[in-house]
A and B are shown apart, each in its own frame.
Chain A
Amino acid sequence: MAVIYRVNMTDLSVRSEAPGPGYLETGGRGLTSALIAAEVRPTCHPLSPENKLVIAPGVLTGTGAPCSGRLSVGAKSPLTGTIKESNSGGMGAIAMATLGIRAIILEGKPADRGLYRLIVNTEGIQIEPADELAGLGNYETVGRQYEEFGDKVSCLSIGQAGEMGAAAASIAVTDVEGRPTRHCGRGGLGAVMGSKGVKVIVIDPRGGHRPKPADVEAFKRGAQKFQEILKGHPLTGEGLPTYGTNALANVINQAGAYPTRNFSQGQFEGTEAISGEHQHDVILERGGEIAHACHRGCTIKCSRIYVDENGQYVTKGPEYETIWAHGADCGIDDLDAIARMDRLDDDFGLDTIETGATIGVAMEAGIIPFGDAEGAIGLLEEVGRGTPLGRLVASGAEVLGKAYGVSRIPTVKGQSMPAYDPRAVQGIGVTYATSTMGADHTAGYSIAANVLGVGGTVDPLKPEGQVELSRNLQIATASIDASGLCLFVAFAVLDKPEAMDAICDMFSGLLGREFTADDYLALGKATLAREREFNRAAGFTAADDRLPDFFKTEKLAPHGATFTVSDEELDTVYNFVGE
Chain B
Amino acid sequence: MPRVQVNLYATLRRYVGGAPSVEVEIDPGRTIEAVLAGLGVPTDQTRILFLNNRAANLSDTLKDGDQLGVFPALGGG
A residues at B contact (CB < 8 Å): 233-235, 238-240, 242-248, 250-251, 254-256, 267, 272, 276-277, 302, 319-321, 418-419, 441-442, 445, 447-448, 451-454, 457, 459-461, 487-488, 491, 558-559
Contact = CB atoms under 8 A, between A and B. Distances in A.
A453 B47 CA distance: 7
Contacts of B54: 461, 559
Contact of B11 (A242, A442, A457): A242
A239 B69 CA distance: 17
Contact of A251 (B13, B20, B45, B71): B71
Contact of A320 (B13, B20, B47, B77): B77
8 contacts: A238-B11, A238-B72, A242-B10, A243-B10, A254-B69, A255-B55, A320-B77, A559-B53
B60 to A, nearest CB: 14
Contact of B72 (A239, A255, A447, A559): A239
A235 B74 contact: yes
A99 B55 CA distance: 49
Nearest to B53: A256
B10 A447 contact: no
Contact of B77 (A239, A441, A453, A457): A441
Interface in B1-53: 7, 9-11, 13, 20, 45, 47-48, 50, 53
Interface of B: 7, 9-11, 13, 20, 45, 47-48, 50, 53-55, 69, 71-77
A418 B20 CA distance: 26
B13 A246 contact: no
B50 A234 contact: no
Contacts of A242: 10-11
B74 A448 contact: no
Contact of A558 (B10, B48, B53, B73): B53
Given A250-B9, A277-B10, A277-B13, A255 B50 contact: yes
Contact of B75 (A267, A321, A442, A452): A452
A254 B12 CA distance: 16
Given A234-B47, A254-B53, A451-B48, A442 B77 contact: yes
Contacts of B50: 254-255
B53 A235 contact: no
A254 B7 contact: yes
B76 A302 contact: yes
A276 B72 CA distance: 13
A460 B56 CA distance: 12
Most A Cβ at <10 Å: residue of B48, B50, B69, B77: B77
A196 to B, nearest CB: 31
Contact of A239 (B7, B13, B73): B73
B53 A247 contact: no
B53 A251 contact: no
Given A272-B20, A277-B13, A451-B48, A320 B76 contact: yes
Contacts of B45: 234
Given A239-B75, A254-B50, A559-B54, 6 more contacts: A245-B77, A248-B77, A277-B9, A447-B77, A452-B47, A460-B55
Contact of B10 (A254, A276, A418, A453): A276
Contacts of B72: 234, 238-239
A234 B44 CA distance: 11
